[in-house]
Amino acid sequence: MKVLRLLARPVATGVLGTIAVMASCTAWAFQQPGKIIAGSDLTFFPYEYMQNNQPAGFDVEFLDGLAKAMGRTAENIDTRFPNLITGLQGGRFDIINSSMYITEDRLKVIDMIPYLKSGESILSLKGSDYQPKRPEEFCGHKIGSMGATSWLQQLSKLSQEYCVKNGLQPIALSEYSTDPQTTQALLAHAVEAQITDAAVARGVVEKLGNRVVISSDALIYPVLNGFGVKKGNDEVKAALIDGLKKYTATPEYAALMKKYNFQAPTEADIASMMPSH
């Protein structure tokens, strides 16, 4: 299966040949025997959120299936997104499981294993005169976003190198702790538009009915989503890769991807979108 080969590509040359041996010796590298403890910001519908006081969503179900393929069970620790990397580095959990985009900056401080293709969409109020289709239309407007997201750096760069250089007003970015808080700011007219993950944007529209719309007409800043692993924890990294190879070959995996209408990364996606570091 093509995707299975791709999931291994971020690993250094030669690791794949030893995965089977390493995976059998990985129990000590996890914090608890038989478990995968994951940091996850459970406010990000439909990826991860709380439902009936239990973690739910695509990433939660994905990790459950992956853990089962590894002979383990999964536990998600609710952690706000800006604190996930520091929590991983501090040993609070084994991995990050929170629809985290793989970026060059993140790869400098953690290892990441791709499992999904994603990107952003723009939300605006239905009936509003302001219906931006592209980030270039953000110049001079108040735009809301969850904090610590990868696209904030891209928007700050766009503001200076496109808006200001072309004699336009800079983008006024407002950051919020969670994505739902950003949507509430949009509904309260504190911001004029919201930028968020494309699947999250679809979920917001489903929840709010005709109050908001997706104004963008194409995927913005396409990226890969990945699990985060602490640098140097090669045992956990190798075990995850081996588990992904097993899990993505199952009918349960195919059903999950169809359920959420999500895309696995292709070989071309990995080659073109995996950042160098």
| Residue-range domains of the chain with CATH | 2-118+222-273 (3.40.190.10), 119-220 (3.40.190.10)
pLDDT at residue 47 above 50? yes
Residue 243, pLDDT > 60, answer yes
Residue 108 CB-density burial (10 A; 0-12 exposed, 13-18 middle, 19+ buried): exposed
Measure the CA–CA gap between 218 and 216, rounded to whole angstroms. 6
At 209, is the pLDDT very low, low, confident or very high (cuts 50, 70, 90)? confident
- Whole-model pTM: value is 0.81
> What does the pLDDT average to over 137-164?
97
Alpha-carbon distance of 47 to 44, in angstroms, equals: 6
Q: Which residue has the higher pLDDT, 148 or 2?
A: 148
User: pLDDT > 90: what percent of the chain?
Assistant: 85
Give the integer Cα–Cα distance in Å for 263 and 116: 6
The single residue listed with the structure tokens 């605006």 is 124
Query: pLDDT tens digits, residue range 255-271?
Result: 999 999 898 988 788 88
82-91 long-range CB contacts below 8 Å, 24 or more apart? 82/147, 82/148, 82/177, 84/39, 84/40, 84/41, 84/228, 85/109, 85/110, 85/228, 87/39, 88/39, 88/228, 88/229, 88/230, 89/230, 91/31, 91/230
pLDDT value at residue 221:
93
**pLDDT tens sequence across 77-120:** 999 999 999 999 999 999 999 999 999 999 999 999 999 999 99
> Which pLDDT value is given to residue 277?
67
Least confident segment among 10-14, 122-126, 142-146, 268-272: 10-14
Question: Tens digits of per-residue pLDDT, 24-35?
Answer: 343 348 999 999
If pLDDT is split at 50, 70 and 90, which confidence band does 197 have? very high
Lowest model confidence (mean pLDDT) among 2-6, 31-35, 181-185: 2-6
Q: What is the per-residue pLDDT for 276?
A: 81
Average pLDDT, the chain: 90
Three-class SS state of 123: strand
Calculate mean pLDDT across residues 201-212: 94
Is the pLDDT score of 17 beyond 80? Answer: no
Region of residue 222 (left: phi > 0; alpha: psi -120 to 50; beta: else) = beta
